[in-house]
Amino acid sequence: MILNIGDRLLAAGKTDVGCVRTLNEDSLFIDDKLGLLIIADGMGGHSAGEVASAQVITSVCQSLNAALETTPQEAILAAASNLDDEFQGDDEATMDDIPNPIVAMLRDAANAANTAINDKNRADQCGEGTGMGSTLVGCWLPSFSEVPVVFHVGDSRLYYYNKKGLTQVTQDHSMYQRWVNLGSKGPAPAQNILLQAVGPSEHITPDINFQEVEKGDVVLLCSDGLTGMVSTKAIEKVLATAKNKNLDDIVDQLIKMARDGGGKDNISVIVGRFIK
């Protein structure tokens, strides 16, 4: 089903267990009222990953909704006031050093999700860096922001397709990506070793950035069940055919390609097209 996200974006999404696993540990949600597209890829096995990914989405949505219970303008002012403690006593801090309040809302939402899962891990006597966890990738279009906000933790990804082609906006929080960033020297580490995820550790550092878009641009959020099975060139070719009325078909096509490629992991895909 294609949903209207405000008056700027149309979006559709689906998750699939794949061809190998019996349990789907991915979760996704399109909140048309909140203006949020979000995917979480759980880890932990024995249903723990499924619990973690669902908790991530629930916590993020609850946090953002709570922040917006007042008017959007009041929510922004409240978020801005919460930043004051970080800069008290810093005589050299300037206005440019203060994070955008929208960024603060998302950071608080991600941290709330991390705390919720980490508390469960601690209750289960899991040590630091162990226990269930989840990746997180999202795109938020609050009504009071002209520019979408992209946020993520882990290796679930967000891409943008426009007239210039396909661009990977997020950068994986993985050992493999660090190896690439450092010049690909020495043996390559396994691609599934994450440097951070939501839940296993007490603290996380989500990446949060604003993304300029134009009418006709396409956004893709996905778990590594897609990118591990389908090349970026093949993904780009499919997204090039995206129209307002065929987003469900685009999602189904990408999932089918991942299954045809082996479907070794759960596959979650959200595709959106900007109409304004």
pLDDT digits (tens, 9 = 90+) for 237-250: 999 999 999 999 99
pLDDT bin (cut points 50, 70, 90) of residue 76 is low
Is the Cα dihedral 16, 5, 216, 161 positive or negative? Answer: negative
Percentage helix, strand, coil for the chain under 3-state DSSP, each rounded to 5: 35, 25, 40
Q: What is the mean pLDDT of the chain?
A: 90
Cβ 265 vs Cβ 223: under 8 Å: yes
In whole angstroms, what is the distance from residue 138 CA to residue 154 CA? 12
**Per-residue confidence (pLDDT) for residue 101, from 0 to 100:** 85
pLDDT bin (cut points 50, 70, 90) of residue 46 is low
| Measured distance between the N- and C-terminal CA atoms of the chain, rounded to whole angstroms | 20
CA angle, 241 then 245 then 247, to 5°: 60
* Percent residues over pLDDT 90 in the chain: 77
Tell me what the mean pLDDT of segment 106-131 comes to. Answer: 94
In whole angstroms, what is the distance from residue 263 CA to residue 159 CA? 20
| 127, two tokens | 């040590």
Looking at domain 3-274, its CATH superfamily turns out to be PPM-type phosphatase domain (3.60.40.10)
Tell me what the mean pLDDT of segment 251-255 comes to. Answer: 98
Cβ 49 vs Cβ 134: under 8 Å: yes
